[in-house]
């Protein structure tokens, strides 16, 4: 059975392994450690037995009068994709963000990352704009948004 739970210190080796197989510009270990330290409740992992299958990292930001959730990173182990794990991770994060009073969840995704874009659209995210040269290598990002108040 797959369980979604907050990160533990022993998870970092498996997280960095998934990160390096998933991204051309992976987050370094110290960034994961920093993010786990500042908002541990918003850094979730999916585990089955002792195997870590994926992770999601969120943060909250004050935007004008409201609190907004920001999705910093999400990845599922390559051989475990298309089994609903990404969906379980994002649902768990959304529940926590809603309980914290967030009305929206926003994210950036590379314009070339069609699979992630397809995944986010399936979760109900809308594309709201394109941010030019957002990434260090010059690629644009799509900014996507999910209205949490419209979700039951």
Ligand X SMILES: CC(C)(COP(=O)(O)OP(=O)(O)OC[C@H]1O[C@@H](n2cnc3c(N)ncnc32)[C@H](O)[C@@H]1OP(=O)(O)O)[C@@H](O)C(=O)NCCC(=O)NCCS
* Smallest separation (angstroms) from ligand X to the CB of 19: 9
- End-to-end Cα spacing for the chain: 25
Decide if 127 contacts 135 (C-beta within 8 A). Answer: no
Of the residues 8, 122, 129, 130, which one makes contact with ligand X according to CB under 6 A: 122
Contacts of residue 147, Cβ cutoff 8 Å, sequence gap at least 6: 103, 104
Query: By CB under 6 A, which span of 8-16, 60-68, 85-93, 98-106 interacts with ligand X?
Result: 85-93
Q: How many CB atoms lie within 10 A of CB 118?
A: 9
- Report if residue 75 touches ligand X, rule: CB under 6 A: yes
- Report if residue 141 touches ligand X, rule: CB under 6 A: no
Q: Which residue has the tokens 């529940």?
A: 95
- Report if residue 130 touches ligand X, rule: CB under 6 A: no
Interface residue list for ligand X (CB under 6 A): 22, 74-76, 81-87, 109, 113, 115-116, 118-119, 122
């Amino acid at each position: 059975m797959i369980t979604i739970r907050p990160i533990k210190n022993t998870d970092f080796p498996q997280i960095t392994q998934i990160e390096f197989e998933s991204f051309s510009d992976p987050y370094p270990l110290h960034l994961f450690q920093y993010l786990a330290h500042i908002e541990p409740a918003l850094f979730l992992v999916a585990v089955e037995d002792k195997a870590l299958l994926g992770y999601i990292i969120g943060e909250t930001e004050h935007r004008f009068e409201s609190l907004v959730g920001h999705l910093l990173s999400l990845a599922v182990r390559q051989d475990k994709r298309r089994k609903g794990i990404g969906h379980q991770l994002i649902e768990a994060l959304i529940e926590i963000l809603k309980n914290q009073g967030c009305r929206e969840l926003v994210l950036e995704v590379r314009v070339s990352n069609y699979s992630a874009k397809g995944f986010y659209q399936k979760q109900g995210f809308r594309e709201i704009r394109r941010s030019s040269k957002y990434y260090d290598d010059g690629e644009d990002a799509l900014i996507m948004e999910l209205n949490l108040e419209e979700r039951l």
